Amino acid sequence: MRDLARVELDRIDKLRPGQGMLEAFGFLRGDLVNGFGGGAVEYGHRLSESTSLFGRAEAGYRYGGKPGGEYNAVAGGRWRF
């Protein structure tokens, strides 16, 4: 998780201060027997020259060996001083 947060914050840090972004997408992982399909939404904002925030949530359905709904979320922030 820490690596995911670092990658997302590095991406947000490339925005100008005051700029933000919102992304939404669908996905399918796995094969015809076992897998997971769903959608995700991600928000990032470069608040100032030294502060960045992001949040990501995804939800979907797992099929195959352990079928059922599944969801997760991750959020992070960076403050440089």
How many Å apart are CA 79 and CA 81, to the nearest integer?
7
What is the pLDDT, as a whole number, of residue 70? 93
How many Å apart are CA 22 and CA 55, to the nearest integer?
10
What is the number of domains present in the chain?
1
- Domain assignment of residue 53, given as a range: 2-79
Q: Contact, 18 vs 44, CB < 8 A?
A: no
If pLDDT is split at 50, 70 and 90, which confidence band does 2 have?
confident
Full-model pTM: 0.78
Q: Which residues pair with 20 in a beta bridge?
A: 45
Q: What angle do CA 6, 10, 12 make, to 5 degrees?
A: 115
